[in-house]
Chain A
Amino acid sequence: MNIRLARAEDLMGMQACNLNNLPENYTLRYYLYHALTWPQLSYVAEDHNGRIVGYILAKMEEETEEGEEPHGHVTSISVLRSYRRLGLAKKLMMQSQEAMVGVYKAAYVSLHVRQSNRAAIGLYRDTLGFTVEKIEAKYYNDGEDAYAMRLELKP
């Protein structure tokens, strides 16, 4: 599959992919906000018909305290079930990470995942190397807790 930087015309395809795979969804405006603020950080995987089969939607954390290092945040990452086992999630994540470090000097990447989402936790922890930093109680709209996970980027 072709892996490349997300462009404006990819955002609707990313949205469709997200709606297909994950319960956390966003209006297109939110995707536009990511693309027009941090255009270097979001990547897509497309098949030979130009369909978006995987994506990573990423940003830099906007609110940082004085003296705190800049860090990246994965808003959403997903690959269509029929395109799994190709290592796409890992490839997407790595491209995004590189840009977070290269452009914004990010010290680490963070993300949130539902405590009950075994599949995703497996992806982040085992495939991508994230560790659980803490539990954020009632993070999700329906009251479920989240694992706040983190991946150090500095060597």
Chain B
Amino acid sequence: MAGKAQKKPLPLKEQTLFKELLTLYESRTLKRALKTADQILKKVPDHGETMCMKGLVLTHMNRKDEGIELVKKGLVFDMQSHICWHVLGIIKKADRNWDEALKAYTQAVRCDKENMNLLRDVAQLQVHLGHYDTLQETRWQILKLRPNLRQNWIGYAVACHLNGRLSETKQVLKTYFSTLKNVPDYDVEHSEVLLYYIRVLEDHGEFSEALSELDVYAKERSIVDRTAITESRARLLSKLSRTDDASQAWCSLIEQNPESYDYYRGLLSVKGIDLDALTDDTLPRALNIFSDMSSQIPRATAPRWLALKISRGSSGDEFKSLIRPYLLNGLIKGIPSLLLMSRNIIEEVMETFREKSEKGESIDGTWFCLSCRPTVYVWTLYFLALHYSTPLSSNSAPPNPARSLELLQRAIEHTPTLPELLMGKARVLKRAGDPFGAAHAMEEARALDGQDRFLNSKTAKYFMRAGDVERAIQLLGLFTKKDAPSPGSDLEDMQCLAYMLEEGDAHLRKGNLGLALRRYKSVQMTFDEVENDQFDFHNYSLRRFTMNVYLNLLSFEKQLRSHPAYIAAALSSCKIYIQLHDEPSLVSSSSSPAKLSDSDKKAKKKAKKAAQKTQDESKKSSANKDDDLSEPPKDDDPDGQKLLTTANPLSDAMKWLKPLETLTIDRVDVWVAIYDVTARQKKLSHALRALNVARRLDLEHPEVHVRIVDYHRRVSSASNPPGIPTPVSALLTSSLEALIPSELSLETYNNVYIQRHSHSARAIVAAARASRLLDTVDDVVENLIFGVLAAAVQTDIQTCLDALGLLTGMKSSRTDEFRAAMAARFPLSTVFGTADEVAARRAWLRTSHELSESKESDVV
């Protein structure tokens, strides 16, 4: 700890004090540490290391800014001190500023090349940031310094692996094994390392070697995980085309776990059958195998299910003969998930069951009339009801919710205490476009089993969809921690993405844009947390020798933001930001008190109170735990006002989209969003790139069509004004050619698109929007929109809602006419009503189930 040759060493007394200072800091005795630091500085005011330590101490005492300033000063005084750089590194790490932390730690190591702690910290940061080449160097250093520690070998091997050097990895591990002495007989950690070694060989394509090594280790029982052994054997034998041995291995895996699809897939592939791409030749062979497995292992459901799944496409007879016993069994047991299968044939079969049930006849030799097995009848009705509530396929009869409700009503009269029936009713009403009736029914279901959180979560979701956020949160509060400031804050702490998205969407639908953004932001923060979580596990996994799952974790984290929840929050947030850019007046109108309904105002007040409570609690707790360096996240924007009033909505939007762009997500809506933002940022070539990706994914997609027209408009107006350099404008003009041949006018292009997709309501609505971009006369656009009502057009409630939104946005005089047509087309729907009608339904929902504010929960 003494200084380097260039600087003066501390006098003896101060040296001792400095050692004390370090100890006091480590034990977090901060007040005394501060005193000690000041003592040293009195005598030696320019001692950089003491200044840095004092600064570090201050950051733990809620004097963070002061501390950081001091650290910076101290560093200047002693840039050769590893202690100073280490302190800086600690502070940057606490802020999760990984890049800066790595720089600081790297400097620290330069000053003290053999400091193990520092080297380990550097390695951890390097792997976290994906700097695998320098990681390998660091881990090599660590190994050289302490080759007697097992972890250090493994750490170096993993570093080589991550750096893509598989043969080096193999060598390292082999050398490591040769250094081992006295490995205990049954050592799980050693077993895991061996499994890792086998995996490295496999990844390197050395299947034979991997297999022979595996067999040796298995025989001498050094590998204790039999499942892993057999799985590896099966895979390796398959890769080596040793069909018989591989089959045997897959079969023994199936015996161990008959429900794993991968095992069946493996078995079939060894026999030359690709489960995901069956041919006329392989299909019957596959069915045979499944049938064999089924009889060998009667308790297994997977072979029966897979047989059904693959025979769906084939002639109906095969499927029918398999499905009848399957369905019968499901009805007898009362399995709610039975519907998830091919329904064409099922409808026919089910209706037969229902008729026979009602007539008291036997079904395929089994007796269950109404009086002796009534539950079977009830499940049959339930099944048929759900079946009729959704269209079978795009060219079959439309859904028949009235029939569904009628069937369910009969079932409910029969068995009023079965929550599934009321849940079914809720689902039918939801699909029919009545979120209020749906929430009401779901609440009735929930009341039948107050202890079940599943019912509670579903009901809360349905209330969110009906726009009653306050009631939803009240419900959720029956299961959240009682000492949390609010149900929402507990759910956010527990990273409940579903809640954040549902509430965000609810606010978005009601135009409370700030609140919506706030909820989506929680999603963003959760994903940041998940990304940061992996940090501690870099070193932890080495200690526990669980390398296979660790590498699995790293590759998962790399793809992290491809998660549907992130994408959903991103796209919704971007929609809002784009709106804010296009209509800046929205900012004030969205947050004005007049706009919020009473219940929204209440919810807003509660959220503010809760945020304040969190602040107070965290202040309390941070005063006690002064070893907690990172401050609890302050919710300084509980109603999203800050997010809403952002100076640059488009760049906020791009922050969401950047990771999606990097991950090259295969979704049209993602690239359309990137287009929308970059186009408005006037980055036309970036926008064009995004548009082209979208086109490649789905050329005829309605949203793509609108953007093509949009792009044309933007480029035409961009190339005209002076000041644009000619080569750029020439480039832009030529890009137009690639999208639409120049002989076609945009109007014609749009009309041709409609012709091509005359049966798709989505396409028609998109064409209407494109028309608007072309400044087409309102009458014409309206006529286009009304085209969705044509009998031949395939439509759905959401698309019609979008159409209605277009009309209201245009302040069309035909809006009420459209509403009336919707009421006729979707008789059970309530979403097409006027604002007053919707408010009335909402009020009805509130009064139909009064949940008292302070209800003692009847649940645990």
A and B assemble together = yes
| Residues of chain A having any CB pair with chain B under 8 Å | 1-5, 7-9, 12, 15-16, 19-23, 25-29, 32, 35-37, 39-40, 45, 47-48, 80-87, 91, 95, 98-99, 102-105, 114, 116-119, 141-142, 144
B563 interfacial by beta-carbon distance below 8 Å: yes
Could you tell me if B257 and A36 are in contact, using CB atoms closer than 8 angstroms? no
B336 touches A36 (CB 8 A): no
With contacts A4-B260, A37-B544, A83-B337 taken as known, whether A103 is within 8 angstroms of B224 at the C-beta atoms is yes
18 extra interchain contacts, Cβ-Cβ under 8 A, other than A19-B491, A102-B224? A1-B259, A5-B227, A8-B552, A9-B559, A12-B530, A16-B496, A27-B495, A27-B529, A36-B541, A36-B550, A80-B454, A84-B336, A85-B334, A86-B335, A102-B225, A102-B227, A103-B188, A104-B188
Residues of A within 8 A of B188 (CB): 103-104
Residues of B with C-beta under 8 A to A27: 493-495, 529
Residue among B259, B302, B451, B497 facing the most chain A CB atoms (10 A cut-off): B259
Given A32-B534, A40-B227, A20 and B498 contact (CB-CB distance below 8 Å): yes
| Cβ contacts under 8 Å, A15 to chain B | 495
A98, B860: Cβ atoms closer than 8 Å: no
Instruction: Verify if B821 is at the interface (C-beta below 8 Å from A).
Output: no
Instruction: Answer yes or no: B482 CB below 8 A from chain A CBs.
Output: yes
Q: Which B positions have Cβ atoms within 8 angstroms of A?
A: 186, 188, 191-192, 224-228, 256-257, 259-262, 301-302, 309, 333-337, 340, 451-455, 457, 479, 481-482, 491, 493-499, 529-530, 533-534, 537, 540-541, 544, 546, 548-550, 552-553, 555-557, 559, 563, 859-860
Q: What are 22 of the A-B contact pairs (CB < 8 Å)?
A: A2-B262, A3-B259, A8-B557, A9-B552, A19-B499, A27-B493, A27-B495, A28-B495, A28-B530, A29-B533, A32-B553, A36-B537, A36-B540, A37-B546, A40-B225, A81-B455, A84-B336, A86-B337, A95-B257, A99-B225, A102-B224, A103-B224
Knowing A3-B257, A141-B481, the reply to whether A28 touches B333 (Cβ < 8 A) is no
User: Which residues of A have CB within 8 Å of B335?
Assistant: 85-86
Contact A16 B257 (CB under 8 A): no
- List B contacts of A104 (CB < 8 A): 188
> Contact: A105 with B860, CB < 8 Å?
no
Q: Is the CB of B860 within 8 A of A114?
A: yes
Taking CB atoms, residues of chain B closer than 8 Å to A32 are 533-534, 537, 553
In the complex with contacts A15-B495, A16-B497, A99-B225, A2-B534 CB distance below 8 A: no
Residues of A within 8 A of B256 (CB): 98
Smallest CB gap from B228: residue in A: A40
Q: Is the CB of A2 within 8 A of B261?
A: yes
- Inter-chain contact B226/A102, CB cutoff 8 Å: yes
Find the A residue at minimum CB distance from B562.
A9
- Residues in A whose Cβ lies below 8 Å from that of B259: 1-3, 45, 91
Please tell me if the beta carbons of A20 and B457 are within 8 angstroms of each other in the complex.
Answer: yes
Residue contact B451 to A119, C-beta cutoff 8 Å: yes
Interface pair B337/A19, CB less than 8 Å apart: no
Q: Verify B495–A85 contact, CB threshold 8 A.
A: no
Q: What's the least CB distance linking A103 to chain B, in Å?
A: 5
Query: Is A47 within 8 A of B340, CB to CB?
Result: yes
Which residue on A lies nearest to B191, using beta carbons?
A103
Return the contact of B333 from the options A7, A36, A85, A116 (Cβ within 8 A): A85
Considering only CB atoms, which chain A residue lies closest to B499 in the complex? A19
Q: A35-B553, A81-B455 in contact; A19/B225 too (CB < 8 A)? A: no
By a CB distance below 8 angstroms, the chain B residues around A8 are 549, 552-553, 555-557
- Closest-CB distance, B479 to chain A (whole angstroms): 5
Contact B549 A85 (CB under 8 A): no
Q: Cβ of B451: which chain A residues have Cβ within 8 Å of it?
A: 117-119
Residues of B within 8 A of A105 (CB): 186
A100 to B223, CA, bound (A): 14
Distance from A33 Cβ to chain B, minimum over Cβ atoms (Å): 8
CA distance A91 to B257 in the complex (A): 8
- Docked CA distance A14–B364 (Å): 40
Point out the residues of chain A lying under 8 angstroms from B555, CB to CB: 8
Residue pair B546, A39 in contact (C-beta under 8 Å):
yes
Nearest chain A CB to B129 CB, angstrom units: 19
Complex-state Cα separation, A106 to B340, whole angstroms: 38
Task: Flag if B549 contacts A2 (CB, 8 Å).
Answer: no
Please name the residue on chain A nearest to B226 by beta carbon.
A102
**Across-interface contacts of A118 in B (CB, < 8 A):** 451
Residue of A81, A83, A114 ringed by the most chain B CB atoms within 10 A = A81
Chain B's closest residue to A1 (CB) is B259
A4 to B262, Cβ gap below 8 A? yes
- CB contacts (< 8 Å) of B336 on chain A: these are 81-85
Check A36–B549 contact: CB distance below 8 A.
Answer: yes
Other-chain residue from A37, A99, A116, A141 in contact with B227 (beta carbon distance below 8 A): A99
Cα–Cα distance between A5 and B455 once the two chains are bound (Å):
28
Chain B residues, Cβ within 8 Å of A35: 549, 553
- Chain A: minimal CB distance from B730 (Å): 47
Bound-state CA distance A40–B496 (Å) is 26
Identity of the chain A residue whose Cβ is nearest the Cβ of B555 in the assembled complex: A8
Q: In the complex, what residues of A have CB within 8 A of residue B226's CB?
A: 102
Q: Is the CB of A23 within 8 A of B552?
A: no
B562 to chain A minimum Cβ distance, whole angstroms, is 10
CA distance A104 to B799 in the complex (A): 56
Known: A2-B261, A12-B563, A21-B454. A39 touches B227 (CB 8 A): no
On chain B, the residues within 8 Å of A98 by CB distance are 227, 256
Shortest Cβ gap from B563 to chain A (Å): 7
Nearest CB of chain B from residue A146's CB, rounded to whole Å: 11
Task: Point out the residues of chain B lying under 8 angstroms from A40, CB to CB.
Answer: 225, 227-228
In the complex, what residue of chain A is closest to B541 when comparing beta carbons? A36
In the assembled complex, the Cα of A104 lies from the Cα of B497 at a distance in Å of 35
List, in ascending order, chain B residues with CB within 8 A of A5's CB.
227
Q: By the criterion CB–CB under 8 Å, are B546 and A48 in contact?
A: no
Chain B contacts for A19, CB-based, 8 A: 457, 491, 494, 496, 498-499
CB proximity of B549 to chain A, nearest CB, Å: 4
From B457, B544, B549, name the one whose CB has the most chain A CB atoms within 10 angstroms: B549
Closest to A5 in B: B227
Q: How far is the CA of A23 from the CA of B491 in the complex (A)?
A: 11
Q: Interface centre among A3, A5, A25, A84, by most B CB within 10 Å?
A: A25
B481 touches A103 (CB 8 A): no
**Cα-based distance from A85 to B534 in the complex (angstroms):** 36
Chain B residues closer than 8 Å to A20, beta-carbon distance = 453-454, 457, 498
- Give the residue name and chain of the A residue nearest to B302 (CB): A2
> Within 8 Å CB of B334, what residues of A?
85
Chain A: minimal CB distance from B135 (Å)? 19
Q: How far is the CB of B569 from chain A (nearest CB, A)?
A: 14
Within 8 Å CB of A3, what residues of B?
257, 259-260
On whether the beta carbons of B452 and A81 are closer than 8 Å, the reply is yes
Docked Cα-Cα span, A119 to B453, in Å, equals 12
B671 CB, min distance to chain A CBs, angstroms: 23
Q: Cβ of B482: which chain A residues have Cβ within 8 Å of it? A: 142
CA A32 to CA B549, docked complex, whole Å: 10
Collect the chain A residues with CB atoms within 8 Å of residue B301's CB: 1, 86-87
When chains A and B are docked, how far (Å) is the Cα of A144 from the Cα of B859?
Answer: 12
A125 to B115, CA, bound (A): 55
Q: Distance in Å from the Cβ of A83 to the closest Cβ of chain B?
A: 5
Partner of A36, one of B186, B228, B499, B544: B544
Write the nearest CB–CB distance from A77 to chain B, whole angstroms: 14
Cα–Cα distance between A25 and B498 once the two chains are bound (Å): 14
Contacts of A39 in B (CB 8 A): 192, 546, 548-549
